[in-house]
A and B are shown apart, each in its own frame.
Chain A
Amino acid sequence: MINEEYRGAQQWSRNKQAVFTVVWISFLSAAIATMVFFAIFDPVELGAIFDAELELTHDTGYAAGFFFFWVLCAICSSVTAFLVRTAPKRDAKRRRR
């Protein structure tokens, strides 16, 4: 029946859930971080501090900053997800309590 076709059928595997959630949530966090960070710092001025020779454009600066935050947030999210998912399970006796 049509109903059977639907119910519980459309499920992502746990790994797929984890990967997409980590990618998406770290993307959102990185977008916020980029906004706040570059509202305070101008990437061109920042580049000049590290290396006077560096001719950084705004576009490249913003993009580099965004990807830096995205990778950082993704590492943070995925380690969290990994630890939560692989934590030792409470044994059956305690769970029954």
Chain B
Amino acid sequence: MNEPQAASMYESAKKIYPREIGGRFDKLSKLATVTLLGLFYFLPWLLWDERQAILFDLPARKFYLLGLTLWPQDFPYLALLLIIAALSLFFFTALAGRLWCGFACPQTVWTEAFIWMEQLTEGTRSQRMKLDKAPWSLTKFRKKASKQFLWITFSMWTGFTFIGYFTPVRELGADIFAFNIGGWTLFWGLFYGFATYGNAGYMREQVCKYMCPYARFQSAMFDKDTLIISYDEKRGEPRGSRKRSVDHKAAGLGDCIDCQLCVQVCPTGIDIREGLQYECIACAACIDACDSIMDKMNYPRGLVRYTTEHSLQSKTTHVVRPRMLVYATLLLILVGGLVTAMASRTPVILDVIRDRNSLYRELPDDLVENIYTLKIINQSNDARSFTLSVSGLEGLLLDGIDGEVHVDGGGVLSLPVRLRARRDDASGVNEILFGIEATDDASVVMEEDSRFIGPTP
């Protein structure tokens, strides 16, 4: 990539030191962080029927979700679920802007946790800036080392938790203390841990600015009725500093005292007063910052607030509008489809594989034989018996099994089956139908078609 004007790729971006600010939205954001991270770190330890409640058992190719066991054949459900997730994101973006970015995105949530650890070890914003400028000393080393210690420990724990979703976490814990963990397990744990460390510790808002596709296209879901965080220019301008005692309106000033607090608290380093910018992740820190100043100045709150473009232009905001109806309808249809499909999901799968080696075999007494392998997958957690049937051809005879077949809970049975028919009935290619039915539950049935081939007369 020959770009003569481009600077070295290692040129570091100027570091942002977000200032800490209390307030309503800060509380909300902390609540979201604690809840989401709490769920992430806790869920692998949750038990269900004496096994891990959520486990993506990749070697066994089974996903356990609470009482549900999902198989590779259930992949369409996962695809549908992902589409629903994407559509919900569109819906909530159109309704309330970048709620996802500000409160729920893992990038934001982990960055919050890392900044909290930074504050714990290095102090407030101005202390951190001073520390970075100061020459290396024992104190600086101690502060930086304890920050790194916290960050790295937390990252490792994150990596460990991540693999805990794929490997039984209790055994994993014991294995780690015994220094007995598999190569790939260790690799993915370190990989995820390192990604957390890099993303939340160093890259932070750069990920949103340069690497996140959603941040770039979310504005396509916006309209003039979407909830955004905005500075009220009409009320705030002309900005300027003043004494508290001064009647600013008489002095020709707006409500903005130009204290820069909204800029200092911004994790992406923008000035909200310049209007809606795509760097804004809608974390609402600037609202808290501005409200605290408005309180001090005895001005009404909300110079920076959640609002809509229409409301800023003193027009009515419509929550219900065609865009919302379309998103909502699609969402309802898809969720309804998923629920129906899951509810009517038969916990058994039948696969029929025709023997590849011979089309048919002629037997004495004018009989023809075809050979199949039936694969019966019992997706329920309990052992089951099934009765087998076959139809589609007169006088079809099932050989190789006597009565019921038995399949363990979560087991796969490979069953060789011979079918016989009279030569006269079975000339050429005939469509036939295999069926199984659970002996304990007549609603658990599954059919699969195949072909019976005989000699052409």
Contacts and interface: CB of A to CB of B under 8 A. Distances in A.
Interface of A: 1-3, 5-7, 9-21, 24-25, 35-36, 38-40, 42, 57-60, 62-63, 82, 85-86
Nearest to B212: A24
A82 B1 contact: yes
Contacts of A13: 6-9, 11
B416 interface: no
Interface in B9-63: 9-11, 13-16, 58-59, 61
Nearest to A19: B9
Given A24-B211, A39-B75, A59-B182, A6 B6 contact: no
Contacts of B58: 58-59, 62
B264 A15 contact: no
A57 B59 contact: yes
Nearest to A59: B184
> Which size bracket describes the interface of B in this complex?
35 or more
Interface string B90-118: 00000000000000000000000000000
**Interface class of chain B by DSSP:** loop
Contact of A14 (B3, B15, B61): B3
B346 interface: no
Nearest to B203: A20
Nearest to B13: A10
A16 B14 contact: no
A71 B10 CA distance: 23
B135 interface: no
Nearest to A42: B61
B3 A20 contact: no
Given A2-B260, A62-B58, A16 B1 contact: no
B127 to A, nearest CB: 15
A45 to B, nearest CB: 10
**A interface secondary structure, majority:** helix
Contacts of B6: 13-15
Nearest to A23: B211
Nearest to A16: B9
B2 interface: yes
B269 A10 contact: yes
A9 B11 CA distance: 12
A61 to B, nearest CB: 9
B79 to A, nearest CB: 8
A40 B72 contact: yes
Nearest to A66: B188
A63 B180 CA distance: 20
Contact of A5 (B14, B184, B213): B14
A17 B1 CA distance: 13
Nearest to B79: A36
A13 B7 CA distance: 6
Interface string B210-227: 110100000000000000
- Closest 4 A-B residue pairs measured CB to CB? A9-B14, A39-B75, A15-B9, A58-B59
Nearest to A28: B213
